[in-house]
Structure 1
Amino acid sequence: MDLLGGVQKVMRHMLVARGVESKVVSVAGQSVHMYELKGQGKGPPVVLVHGLGGSANGFAKLFFGLAKRFSRVLAVDLPGHGFSAEYCGGPVCVRGQFDVLRLWCEQVVREPAFVVGNSLGGAMSVKLAGDHPELVKALGLVAPAGAALAPEALDALLSSFDIKTAAEARLLMGRLFHKPPLPVMLFAGELRKFYGTATVQALAAEARATRESLAPEVLKSLKMPVLLVWGGSERLLPAETLDYYRSHLPSHAQVRVVEGFGHIPQVERPEELASQLVRFADEAGL
């Protein structure tokens, strides 16, 4: 029995029952699953981009809070994640994922958005803002990856996703959360399936082989409002990641270190994260 797969389907059913639209769209020939919730606010659309091994379901507890402030809330399952079809993108896996994200923004979002990305999704959101600023009205980075790391730090990070045992899965969960919920730790072994997919393993292998990072020039070039939220309990990404962003983001960017946040506050502390995003939007005049 695919326990976690069943839980994911129940979450989708509950979101749909509360008015969130769940649909599959064709992007670059790929079947891509997404959520969309019509908002009551006057702000721009919010686009939520998950990280490696994550899914749009991880943002589920943000949807309704953000919908009070923004016109639309959208979250996408990148190829090979969540309910989207398995897909790597050929020999250059990260590039394939990014191209699908860009085209999805162009074809589905269709207007400049407040793009919020977590982890690998944060790095991809920076690239989207740098390459296609017309798609990004403001940028929210939640524990973003993409910094230039020392080889040993990068290898240690990528090794975290090479899960073969339940003990290794529990270790990863401990690094993702400020305080891992007991059910998560009890069923950590099931989480191996999230990180053992062909797409996740191909993305990790690609990152290890190319060792590509966001160039300082890309970060410095960002003209739109930028918020970086970093957890006081961040244990997955090395501290030099935050140092890298602080050194190269433009002077107008806001960097907030929030106590009680781990790597995925959208799962663990969604109300507090939504509050951070709304406060930033208010200050930026979105």
Structure 2
Amino acid sequence: MIIGWVVVAVIGALVLLSAGLMFFTLLAARYAEKLVPPIGTFVDVDGARLHFVDRGAGPVIVMVHGLAGNLRNFYALIERLSVDHRVVAVDRPGCGYSTMRSGEHPSMRAQAALIAQLIRKLHLGQPTVVGHSMGGALSLALAIDHPDCVRALALIAPLSNVERAPPNGLKILRIKSPLVQWMVAWMFSAPIGKLIHRESLKAVFAPEAAVESFDTSGGAVLGLRPWAFSAACKDMVAISREMAAIPPSYPTLTIPVSVIFGRQDAVLNHETHGEQLVAALPNGNLHVMEGGGHMILVTQPDHVADLIRQSTHHRSTSSA
């Protein structure tokens, strides 16, 4: 009898603890959204509700962010490039404020198809597509599968080949079990995430210093929401099996492809994902920035913006 009451008490305590953690996580998510609210427009495309910003006028640039990111990651480039370009930056499904009505998280190539639909729906023609990190892989898939939607690519520290191990600062996202993903997202992403968030940012920015305001200006705090954490886990797991199918098509890409890397990138190696990519492309070029890390779009935006401008005019860049 006593043992039975003890079991009931333990189960009750666990239920209360779980409910408390979930409530705290939800409060943290709402606080993150208060700090970093939507700044753009919403459009429906094939089961998705995409959030995007549309700034400036001129030649069109479409921006696709990386793993666990959102469109605010491009804030420094949007500010600079919208002076003389029309810049459209979009949240990938499950990131920022973009959602899937079906609840199913789309594969990378399915996400590329959604970006293609956005380009067509907004009548953007054939823009230059800028992709960062995993957004670079998605941009390559977009150009391969939907050539009518891409005039040129400008890829910043892109994932372009299979990575056998999770990149630095992102290992926590490699959770394969959907149940464990849900449990970590809803019970631990806020309390534990806050503890490791700073270290993760340091790892992603290394060797350069993390920008202090990146939580708000770059929208990083939105990644602590449970649904964003879960989407990032799904992207991490899927990308390892999807990535192998993309490189064989690189020789068929005849459009101009500019690849921009920091030589000291601690997340993705410029030789594997820059030099090997350019070697496989008919019309690719590589620019390697000394001292730059994975977040050169934030730490060195003037230089990166100039290189993107060159790519929109099909000029050649060289390694430095």
- After superposition, residues 82-231 of structure 1 pair within 5 angstroms as 82-85=96-99, 90=104, 93-149=107-163, 151=164, 153-154=165-166, 159-161=171-173, 164-166=192-194, 168-177=196-205, 178-182=208-212, 192-193=224-225, 197-208=229-240, 210=241, 212-213=243-244, 215-231=246-262
Q: In the aligned structure 2, how far is the partner of 1:91 from the partner of 1:27?
A: 14
Q: In the aligned structure 2, how far is the partner of 1:275 from the partner of 1:110?
A: 22
Deviation at 1:256, TM superposition (A): 0.5
Tell me how many residue pairs correspond in the alignment. Answer: 266
TM-score by length of 2: 0.72
SS of aligned partner of 1:32: strand
Q: In the aligned structure 2, how far is the partner of 1:59 from the partner of 1:175?
A: 19
Q: Deviation digits for residues 77-119 of structure 1, max 9, x if unmatched? A: 1111112125787375323322211211222244000110001
- After superposition, residues 21-100 of structure 1 pair within 5 angstroms as 22-39=40-57, 41=58, 44-70=59-85, 72-85=86-99, 90=104, 93-100=107-114
Change (3 A) 1:109 1:4: farther
Structure 1: unaligned runs, 5 residues or longer = 13-21
Q: In the aligned structure 2, how far is the partner of 1:258 from the partner of 1:155?
A: 20
Partner in structure 2 of residue 8 of structure 1? 36
1:259 pairs, out of 290, 295, 308, with: 290
Bigger Rg, structure 1 or 2: 2
Q: Deviation digits for residues 218-273 of structure 1, max 9, x if unmatched? A: 222211111000012311124533343143222x3110011243222223322222
Q: In the aligned structure 2, how far is the partner of 1:189 from the partner of 1:133?
A: 34
| 2:141–2:246 CA contact under 8 A, matched in 1 | no
SS of aligned partner of 2:111: helix
| 1:56–1:77 CA contact under 8 A, matched in 2 | yes
Deviation at 1:8, TM superposition (A): 1.8
TM-score by length of 1: 0.79
Range with greater deviation from structure 2 (166-175 or 272-281): 166-175
Range with greater deviation from structure 2 (29-38 or 230-239): 230-239
Deviation at 1:181, TM superposition (A): 2.6
Q: In the aligned structure 2, how far is the partner of 1:245 from the partner of 1:53?
A: 23
Q: What is the percent sequence identity of the aligned residues? A: 25
Change (3 A) 1:3 1:259: farther
| 1:121–1:144 CA contact under 8 A, matched in 2 | yes
Deviation at 1:30, TM superposition (A): 1.6
1:235 paired with 2:266, answer yes
